Chain A
């Protein structure tokens, strides 16, 4: 299963902020079941998109040398539903970063309208903390996500103002 919940980075400033967009198409599978006759994007998938945007921001700050794992979300608020045809903008700002982990402030907008917000806590997981026998000790920034990382590298900081 594909588990990439952002389409493109639109701005990236190393160690500071990252912005990505997610286009919602009625062709996406989940709309059929969530809900029949009333398609809205499940809130947790918005949070996953925010976590992927913020997680790459955190990972890049250490050149993707550490495993960045979503640990906790605080103060999650949903202001309204997201509908097919909308483009969501996920904006994440690095609040704290240290050896143990990181904290990111995240918002989801449609146009200028705030749809959701959260404070996301990430933990750095060292090789010693992983279950024994794992083939890939850098399991986070590989596979599908590697493609996103290249996109992140290709974009510039957001214009000021």
Chain B
């Protein structure tokens, strides 16, 4: 499956799950800030992607929400520490962290969850299968 084909399927999945229009789902669209996703929508999206692509997506693999919970070494004064960035890179190798690294505020982590992130994740995942 080419990247464009993956993107097209991701787009239709998000249109169904979030009741948004086709043209809102651009590669750079952020799930929360731009498409209005709430935390529970992430569960919905994962179920739909599993069906659409015939893959298993283990908890926390695509959306590792809990990465910073309970470990003070990863976050200090609302900023992600270098150790935290390393952990993020390890857990989300398909994420583009270059912008985030310039201003690694914890409350900006959710902006990493873009349409493109899902596409890249699935690209990696399907290549392994």
- The residues of B that contact A99 with a CB separation of less than 8 Å are 59
Secondary structure at the B interface, as helix, strand, loop or mixed, is helix
- Does residue A74 face the partner (Cβ distance < 8 Å to B)? yes
Residues from chain B with a CB closer than 8 A to the CB of A96 are 47, 50-51
A112 at the interface (CB under 8 A from B): no
Contact between B59 and A74, CB atoms less than 8 A apart: no
Does B40 reach chain A (CB closer than 8 Å)? yes
B43-102 residues at the A interface, CB under 8 angstroms: 43-44, 46-47, 50-51, 59
Q: Which residue of B lies closest to A72 (CB)?
A: B40
Judging by beta carbons under 8 Å apart, are A72 and B46 in contact? no
- For A66-77 the 0/1 string (1 means CB < 8 A from B) is 000001101000
B47 and A103 within 8 A (CB): yes
The reply to whether B59 and A72 form a contact with Cβ atoms under 8 Å apart is no
Q: How large is the interface on A (under 10, 10 to 19, 20 to 34, 35 or more residues)?
A: 10 to 19
What separation, in Å, do the CA atoms of A71 and B40 have in the docked complex? 7
B41: interface (CB < 8 Å): yes
The answer to whether B50 and A72 touch across the interface, beta carbons within 8 angstroms, is: no
Most chain A CB neighbours (cut-off 10 Å) among B16, B41, B44:
B44
A128 vs B50: C-alpha distance when bound (angstroms): 26
Q: Is A123 engaged at the interface, CB distance under 8 Å to the other chain? A: yes
Question: When chains A and B are docked, how far (Å) is the Cα of A103 from the Cα of B44?
Answer: 8
Chain A, range 78-103, C-beta contacts under 8 Å to B: 96, 98-101, 103
Task: Report which residue of B17, B43, B44, B46 has the largest number of chain A beta carbons within 10 angstroms of its beta carbon.
Answer: B43
Beta-carbon contact of A123 and B40 below 8 Å: yes
B43:A71 contact, CB within 8 angstroms = yes
Chain A neighbourhood of B59, CB < 8 A: 98-100
CB distance from B78 to the nearest CB of A (A): 22
28 contacts between A and B (CB under 8 A): A71-B40, A71-B43, A71-B44, A72-B40, A72-B41, A72-B44, A74-B16, A74-B17, A74-B44, A96-B47, A96-B50, A96-B51, A98-B47, A98-B59, A99-B59, A100-B43, A100-B46, A100-B59, A101-B43, A101-B47, A103-B44, A103-B47, A121-B40, A121-B43, A121-B44, A121-B47, A123-B40, A123-B43
| Known A99-B59, A121-B43; further 12 A-B contacts with Cβ < 8 A | A71-B40, A71-B43, A71-B44, A72-B41, A72-B44, A74-B44, A96-B51, A98-B47, A101-B47, A121-B40, A121-B44, A121-B47
Closest 3 CB pairs of A and B: A71-B40, A96-B47, A101-B43
